[in-house]
């Protein structure tokens, strides 16, 4: 049961980070390949 809760929280955090990163990249207009390499 705890594993399901941890995995759900992890998934929500990853979704939130990706949404925030997409919004930031829309403003900065950086290259997607450069972002993938630097990650």
Taking only the tens of pLDDT, the chain with its 39 residues reads 899 999 999 999 999 998 888 877 776 665 666 656 655
Domain holding 7, by residue range, is 2-38
Indicate the pTM of the whole model: 0.54
pLDDT score of 21: 82
Q: What is the domain count for the chain?
A: 1
How many whole angstroms separate alpha carbon 39 and alpha carbon 36?
A: 5
Q: How many helices (H) and strands (E) does the chain have?
A: 2, 0
pLDDT score of 26: 72
């Amino acid at each position: 049961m705890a594993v399901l809760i941890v995995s759900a929280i992890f998934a929500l955090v990853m979704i939130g980070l990706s949404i925030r990163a997409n919004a930031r990249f829309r403003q900065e207009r950086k290259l997607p390949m450069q972002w993938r390499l630097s990650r």
